[in-house]
Structure 1
Amino acid sequence: MKIKVGFGYDVHQLVEGEEFWLGGIKIDHVKGSLGHSDGDVLIHAICDALLGAANLRDIGFHFPDTSTELKNIDSKILLKRTVDLIIAKGFSIGNIDATVALQKPKISSIIPKMQKKLCEAMDIDLEDLAIKATTTEKLGFVGTEAGITAYATVLIQK
């Protein structure tokens, strides 16, 4: 068995008037992620981690922000395509550990919904996806609510 680890990171600016998508769930909030797709930083970080682990470059290579086909695309579609890419290379997902850094809104109560939605998209068990949330104690662009970040570590196996 071959085991590989990948790490992903994404950041998006938060602006008023944009929809706020996180973990495949639309969240009611005064600000949303500015992005070419739906701006779901959690999904983008997971995609980058999976692609990196399989040595398949990064999310921008496979899903460029210059593509009109991908404008406003649901990031769950990108996640499914990413999983298809690693499966085509002979890998399966072992587990994913992800952290979202945002000041507001508090997302603890919707993490189970995000886990369910993302596990369905990746066809993995709930126990194989951990999602955590943190703040930056009002420091930096996350603390001032100017942006949101997500980090993901994955284990894939062949």
Structure 2
Amino acid sequence: MSLPPLRIGEGWDTHQLVTGRPLILGGVTIPHSHGLLGHSDADALAHAITDALLGAAALGDIGKLFPDTAAEFKDADSMVLLAQAYRHVRGAGWQLVNLDATIVAQAPKMAPHIPAMRARLAEVLGVDAARVNVKAKTAEMMGPVGEGRAIEARAVCLLAAA
């Protein structure tokens, strides 16, 4: 049986909110009293997208490519990591058809920042912004995200053979 040259990937990430760090999502710095805690800049949206792309291409995950035990990735710009991961995906013979991502955060409101996130992600991935969708939801005051202690992101992508 011949399969169509398409692959779907899914990614998910979450980070704790802490004081003393910037809040960066989708490569955009968002004004807020707290930022995300992590080995890199902790951009949960970029991390979820990176995992979706790598997963669709059967290239593992972000932790395999950029281990959080490696000093070279300490405070790394997640958009640089995303670009590098997508180069691996392209090198394996795949290209992005579209990407859909969801940020789950109680605060701050994400809507004013979504156009900039879409533009930045499209720029890093070298695709038209029409292929990149970002939306936001709250956790309705439930769990760590709803209590304002964390932010999570989910992403799904479709790849086609290049």
Q: Return the TM-score normalized by structure 2.
A: 0.96
Residue identity matched to 2:84:
R
Distance 1:152 1:33 in 2: 18
What is the CA-CA distance between 1:107 and the residue it aligns to? 1.0
- Aligned pairs for 1:25-64 (under 5 A) are 25-64=28-67
- Aligned pairs for 1:1-158 (under 5 A) are 2-158=5-161
**Which 4+ runs in 1 deviate beyond 4 A?**
none
Residue identity matched to 1:91:
W
Query: Matched residue of 1:83: which SS?
Result: helix
Query: In percent, how many aligned pairs have the same letter?
Result: 44
Distance 2:10 2:110 in 1: 22
Residue identity matched to 1:149:
E
What is the CA-CA distance between 1:18 and the residue it aligns to? 1.2
Residue identity matched to 1:65:
D
Deviation track 1:65-112 (CA, whole Å, cap 9, x = no partner) reads: 011111001100001001100000010000000000000000101100
Q: Which runs of 5+ in 2 are unaligned?
A: none
Query: Matched residue of 1:99: which SS?
Result: strand
Distance 1:137 1:126 in 2: 29
Query: Matched residue of 2:7: which SS?
Result: strand
Q: Return the TM-score normalized by structure 1.
A: 0.99
Distance 1:27 1:132 in 2: 15
Residue identity matched to 1:75:
S
What is the CA-CA distance between 1:27 and the residue it aligns to? 1.0
